[in-house]
């Protein structure tokens, strides 16, 4: 949905709320899809959101909850009784969607809801919940259509007619043996284009992608992208078919990873509601701001070491921010590239040194180019060749340092278990600020201050 349409819908609903015209809101919600309703709820202030929720049709409530942000979903689920939550969960056709909703429940309601569900549904959910949600097992559906290799295509076609319907995103059937061991797949195109009397074994594909249930979801997304998959099997350690992953689950993973990276770089929680309570948002961001303040004091303390130099040569104070700023920008470019490479699995020990050499070379070339530009402006502005030479050299040093740090910092943070997207920019900025100030004011003190 385009931003213009979203904004138009928000304005129409806001206008209807001002008129207390609930029928107009109901009409709007009836005409748009589940994802659009979720977008409206996520981008609406809490007071208006509370008035919209009761107007969402009961049949859409579960799908809408799944589409909203984690924080909005939890806030709504907290307002329901366990019996209401159980009814919503049972209205969802896919077990993986049911599991996603279960995982959003507060601990005090989780057990009660599971107890209310019927035994068969509860056992199916518990099998899904036994896997972490960021693995293939946590993503999978439990509804794959399985067939045997020793039957003919005609038998398979008759079986599908008896079923009457197929799960969404079904592009292939999964071939198993009598012990449910995964043997391969039969694509629907092969099923429909071959002679009905042909055995499945003659048409099936045995060399296909199958994920171990513990495969990380990021790896699943990469394999789907690389192989243009629509669905794929999930198996246990013994090769027994457990379920299937479909492209809609993978799109959710990719979207969540993108949201997480963007928000983490600003120190925000990936599931934060746009209209979170003021005190909640302030508390979350205070920690990040406090950490940034400590790093700012570190850079300021380095500047304080050269107080005497700054007092005597005013031009240095005017030019001081240029070197750290340029180094920070150059470093952040490399930092972003490396974080992306790590996230996509494109960067490892085999190519890391080559990347570092490349980024340092880029930093050197840009350093030389902009050093000449800054030096020329300094000469024109202050008519002092020595200051121009010092800032030029400092600029080259800091751009090299920024490129090196931007490549090294994400890898080091990942090794110690810290999210590079969350902490990388702060560490990098502190590093380039300190190096830039030391290089610029340090050389100025040595070469411009008389003993």
CA distances from 297 to 291, 292, 428, 433 (A): 10, 9, 15, 11
Q: Which two tokens stand for residue 72?
A: 């909005």
CB 188 within 8 A of CB 170: yes
At 1, is the pLDDT very low, low, confident or very high (cuts 50, 70, 90)?
A: very low
Q: What is the pLDDT of residue 231?
A: 93
Most confident of 35-39, 105-109, 184-188, 338-342: 184-188
- Sheet containing strand 146-147, edge to edge, reads 146-147, 172-176, 182-187
Residue 96: enclosing H or E segment and its boundaries?
Answer: helix 95-103
Ranges of CATH 3.10.580.10 domains, the chain: 146-263
pLDDT tens profile 192-207: 999 999 999 999 999 8
What value does the mean pLDDT of the chain take?
A: 85
Please state the three-class secondary structure of 209-248 as a single string: CEEECCCEHHHHHHHHHHHCCCEEEEECCCCEEEEEEEHH
CB 396 within 8 A of CB 364: yes
Residue that is written with structure tokens 């490129």 in the block:
403
Cα separation, 79 vs 428, whole angstroms: 43
pLDDT tens profile 59-72: 889 889 988 888 88
CB 77 within 8 A of CB 42: no
pLDDT tens profile 143-172: 889 999 999 999 999 999 998 888 888 899
Evaluate if residue 338 carries a pLDDT over 80: yes
CB 205 within 8 A of CB 172: no
Residue that is written with structure tokens 């090794």 in the block:
415
CB 120 within 8 A of CB 90: no
Work out the average pLDDT over 409-419. 87
The CATH topology of domain 278-448 is Tetracycline Repressor; domain 2 (1.10.357)
- Determine the 3-state secondary structure of 147 from DSSP: strand
- β-sheet bridge partners, residue 234: 211, 243
Q: Which two tokens stand for residue 377?
A: 């402006």
At 176, is the pLDDT very low, low, confident or very high (cuts 50, 70, 90)?
A: very high
pLDDT tens profile 28-57: 888 888 888 888 888 888 888 888 898 888
Ranges of CATH 1.25.60.10 domains, the chain: 3-138
pLDDT tens profile 100-118: 888 888 777 888 888 888 7
β-pair type (231-235, 146-147): unpaired
Percent of the chain residues past pLDDT 90, beyond the cut = 33
CA distances from 295 to 65, 304, 336, 427 (A): 40, 14, 20, 8
Neighbours of 195 (CB within 10 A): 10
The CATH class of the 146-263 domain is alpha beta
The pTM score is: 0.61
CATH number assigned to the domain with residue range 3-138, chosen from the 4 options 1.10.10.10, 3.40.50.410, 1.25.60.10, 3.40.718.10 = 1.25.60.10
pLDDT tens profile 243-287: 999 998 888 787 766 655 555 554 555 555 556 666 766 666 666
Which of 69, 1, 71 shows the shortest CA–CA distance to 32? 1
Q: Which two tokens stand for residue 300?
A: 């300021």
- Determine the 3-state secondary structure of 161 from DSSP: helix
């Amino acid at each position: 949905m385009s931003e213009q349409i979203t904004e138009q819908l928000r304005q129409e609903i806001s206008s209807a709320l001002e008129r207390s015209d609930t029928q107009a809101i109901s009409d709007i919600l009836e005409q748009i899809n589940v994802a659009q309703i979720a977008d409206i709820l996520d981008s609406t202030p809490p007071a208006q959101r509370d008035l919209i929720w009761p107007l969402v049709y009961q049949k859409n409530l579960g799908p809408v909850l799944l589409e909203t942000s984690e924080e909005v979903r939890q806030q709504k689920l907290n307002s329901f009784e366990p019996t209401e939550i159980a009814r919503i969960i049972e209205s969802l056709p896919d077990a993986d969607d049911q599991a996603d909703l279960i995982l959003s429940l507060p601990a005090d309601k989780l057990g009660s809801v599971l107890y209310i569900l019927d035994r068969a549904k509860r056992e199916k959910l518990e099998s899904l919940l036994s896997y972490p949600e960021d693995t293939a097992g946590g993503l999978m559906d439990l509804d794959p259509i399985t067939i045997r290799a020793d039957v003919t295509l005609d038998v398979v076609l008759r079986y599908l007619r008896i079923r009457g319907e197929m799960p969404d995103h079904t592009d292939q059937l999964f071939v198993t043996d009598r012990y449910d061991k995964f043997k391969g797949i039969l694509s629907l195109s092969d099923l429909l284009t071959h002679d009905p009397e042909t055995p499945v074994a003659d048409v099936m594909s045995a060399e296909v992608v199958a994920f171990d249930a513990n495969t990380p979801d990021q790896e699943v997304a990469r394999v789907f992208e690389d192989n243009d998959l629509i669905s794929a099997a999930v198996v246990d350690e013994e090769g027994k078919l457990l379920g299937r992953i479909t492209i809609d689950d993978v799109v959710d993973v990719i979207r969540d990873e993108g949201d997480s990276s963007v928000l983490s770089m600003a120190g925000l929680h990936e599931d934060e509601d746009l209209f979170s309570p003021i005190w909640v948002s302030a508390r979350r961001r205070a920690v990040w701001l406090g950490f940034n303040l400590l790093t700012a004091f570190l850079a300021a303390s380095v500047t304080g070491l050269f107080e005497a130099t700054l007092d005597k040569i005013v031009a240095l104070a005017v030019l001081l921010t240029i070197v750290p700023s340029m180094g920070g920008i150059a470093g952040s470019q490399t930092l972003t590239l490396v974080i992306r490479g790590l996230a996509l699995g494109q960067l490892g020990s085999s190519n890391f040194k080559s990347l570092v050499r490349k980024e340092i070379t880029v930093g050197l070339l840009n350093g030389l180019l902009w050093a000449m530009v800054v030096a020329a402006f300094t000469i024109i502005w202050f008519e002092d060749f020595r200051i121009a030479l010092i800032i030029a050299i400092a600029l080259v040093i800091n751009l090299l340092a920024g490129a090196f740090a931007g490549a090294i910092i994400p890898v080091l943070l990942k090794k110690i278990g810290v999210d590079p997207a969350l902490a990388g920019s702060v560490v990098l900025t502190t590093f380039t600020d300190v190096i830039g100030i030391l290089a610029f004011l340090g050389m100025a003190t040595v070469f411009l201050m008389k003993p």
